[in-house]
């Protein structure tokens, strides 16, 4: 865990730009969150908005060494420019890293949000203690990240770990990536809602479900009804878990990875989704690989991206 004591003596700022809410955390060198700030993200003025919160947090900490930012897009590891960002198109114009560094006078590290969350879980969450870890985030979209020997494995061009675009059904629905039947087309939060709507129409017995009384239910509502014992909601969560477990089996076979950490809003269903994921992964993966893998829920919740981004800024020279 510890890198070097000098790097850990200061504090860091972690910024999460992965959602509509801009989250900024003041993070100690050991990964503990000291202060948090949240505001509605304005994509047009994101640099200035972030810089003013950084200034506010500076009043709480004697020394801030660097800023790390997690963004919902792909970052070119050479130029640090945002290459693709579906969640924050404005980030593709201009250079967020340079702008924020100029405004604050601090070094700024930019990283994909899934990579940042993975690193956060690895340092202080449920990935702690592992050397090799695969991280999955299941929310509005599905992302993944690979940590091998304590370092993020970025791949040939920086885009490794696109777990959401593993093919689950060759004849499945069209995905935003151009492929058909990606995991994301069935197991992201909006697609869990879509499948649930479709099945409510098809399946007569589902009218007993509380979900049939609410046309605008969300993935969180489905998870809540499942926890309350609603059989139809349970079935949808269970099936979603089986899809995710099918993709997890591929990861296990490919990497013989020590630990798989699953985070994001979809995992708020807890064991109701984790159990079918583990069962399906066990059924579909090569047994000696499966037996060496711990599959666990993430531990940092909404702080994961900010903590991880801060720790990536801390370790920027080592990584
Ligand atoms: Zn896809």
Q: Is the dihedral of CA 261, 120, 153, 82 positive or negative?
A: positive
Work out the widest C-alpha separation in the chain, in whole angstroms. 64
Please give the Cα distance from 62 to 45 (Å, whole number): 27
CATH code for the part of the protein at 130-299 = 3.30.420.40
- What pLDDT score does 94 carry? 64
Q: Is the pLDDT of residue 121 over 70?
A: yes
CA distance 136 to 304: 12
Q: How far is the CA of 163 from the centre of ligand 1 (A)?
A: 9
Between 95 and 293, the higher pLDDT residue: 293
User: 85: Cβ–Cβ under 8 A, 6 or more apart, which residues?
Assistant: 71, 72, 73, 74, 91, 92
The alpha carbon of 203 and the centre of ligand 1 are apart by a number of angstroms equal to 28
Pairing between β-strand 82-84 and β-strand 74-75 as defined by DSSP bridges: antiparallel
Beta strand extents in 108-224 (DSSP E only): 108-112, 133-138, 142-148, 151-152
Q: What pLDDT is recorded for position 4?
A: 42
Separation of 164 CA from ligand 1 center, angstroms? 6
Q: What is the mean pLDDT of the chain?
A: 90
Name the band, by pLDDT with cuts 50, 70 and 90, for residue 159. Answer: confident
Q: How far is the CA of 183 from the centre of ligand 1 (A)?
A: 7
More confident residue, 206 or 302: 302
pLDDT single digits (tens) 4-62: 444 446 999 999 998 888 999 999 999 999 999 999 988 778 889 999 999 999 887 77
Q: How far is the CA of 142 from the centre of ligand 1 (A)?
A: 10
Pairing outcome for strands 11-16 and 21-28: antiparallel
Ligand 1 midpoint to CA 182 (Å): 5
Higher pLDDT, 108 or 213: 108
Secondary structure of residue 170 in the 3-state scheme:
coil
CB burial string 259-275: b at 16+ within 10 A, e below:
bbbbbbbbbbbeebbbe
pLDDT (mean) for 160-180: 95
89 Cα–ligand 1 center, Å: 19
Q: What is the structure's pLDDT at 2?
A: 43
Mean local confidence (pLDDT), 195-202: 89
pLDDT in tens, 124-147: 999 999 999 999 999 999 999 999
Q: If you average pLDDT over residues 109-119, what whole number do you get?
A: 94
Strands (E) in 41-129, as ranges, are: 64-71, 74-75, 82-84, 108-112
Q: CA quadruple 213, 218, 220, 223: dihedral positive or negative? A: positive
CATH of domain 5-120+302-314: 3.30.420.40
In the chain, what are the helix, strand and coil shares in percent, each to the nearest 5? 45, 20, 35
Report CA(110)–ligand 1 centroid distance (Å): 24
End-to-end CA distance of the chain: 13
- pLDDT for position 90: 59
Q: What are the extents of the domains in the chain?
A: 5-120+302-314, 130-299
Q: How far is the CA of 165 from the centre of ligand 1 (A)?
A: 4
Give 28 Cα–ligand 1 centroid separation in angstroms.
37
What is the tens place of the pLDDT at every residue in 54-85? 999 988 777 899 999 999 887 776 777 777 66
pLDDT of residue 210: 82
Average pLDDT over residues 218-232: 93
Question: How far, in Å, from the CA of 124 to the mean position of ligand 1?
Answer: 30
- Intrachain domains 5-120+302-314 and 130-299 with the same fold: yes
For 174-189, b/e burial (b = at least 16 CB within 10 A) is ebeeeeebbbbbbbbb
Q: For residue 264, which of 178, 176, 150, 183 has the smallest C-alpha distance?
A: 183
Q: Report the percentage of the chain scoring pLDDT > 70.
A: 91
pLDDT digits (tens, 9 = 90+) for 259-310: 999 999 999 999 999 999 999 999 999 999 999 999 999 999 999 999 999 9
> pLDDT over 90 for what percent of the chain?
74
Q: Tell whether pTM > 0.85.
A: yes
Return the closest-CA partner of residue 189 out of 263, 265, 247, 276: 265
pLDDT at 89 over 70: no
Q: Which residue has the tokens 């985070």?
A: 263
Beta bridge partners of 262: 136, 297
């Amino acid at each position: 865990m510890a890198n070097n004591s000098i790097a850990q003596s200061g504090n860091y700022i972690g910024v999460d730009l992965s959602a509509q809410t801009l989250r900024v955390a003041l993070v100690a060198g050991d990964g503990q969150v000291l202060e948090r700030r949240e505001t509605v993200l304005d994509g047009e003025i994101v640099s200035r908005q972030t810089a003013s919160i950084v200034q506010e947090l500076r009043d709480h900490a004697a020394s801030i060494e660097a800023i790390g930012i997690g963004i919902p897009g792909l970052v070119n590891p050479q130029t640090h420019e945002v290459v693709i960002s579906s969640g924050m198109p404005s980030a593709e114009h201009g250079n967020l890293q340079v702008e924020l560094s100029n405004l604050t006078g601090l070094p700024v590290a930019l990283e994909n949000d899934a990579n940042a969350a993975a690193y956060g879980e690895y340092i202080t969450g449920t990935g702690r203690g592992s050397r090799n870890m695969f991280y999955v985030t299941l929310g509005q979209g599905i992302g993944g990240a690979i940590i091998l020997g304590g370092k993020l494995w970025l791949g040939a061009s920086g885009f490794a770990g696109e777990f959401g675009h593993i093919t689950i059904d060759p004849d499945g629905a069209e995905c935003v990536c151009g492929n058909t039947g990606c995991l994301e087309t069935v197991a992201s939060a909006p697609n869990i809602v879509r499948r649930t709507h479709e099945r409510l129409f098809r399946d007569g017995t589902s009218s007993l479900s509380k979900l049939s009384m609410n046309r605008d239910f969300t993935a969180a509502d489905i998870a809540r009804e499942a926890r309350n014992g609603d059989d139809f909601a349970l079935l949808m969560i269970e099936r979603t878990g089986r899809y995710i477990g099918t993709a997890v089996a591929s990861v296990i076979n490919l990497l013989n990875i020590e630990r798989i950490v699953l985070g994001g809003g979809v995992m708020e269903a807890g064991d109701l989704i984790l159990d079918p994921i583990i069962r399906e992964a066990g059924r579909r993966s090569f047994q000696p690989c499966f037996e060496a893998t711990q599959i666990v829920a993430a531990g940092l919740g909404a702080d994961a991206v900010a903590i991880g981004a801060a720790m990536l800024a801390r370790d920027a020279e080592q990584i």
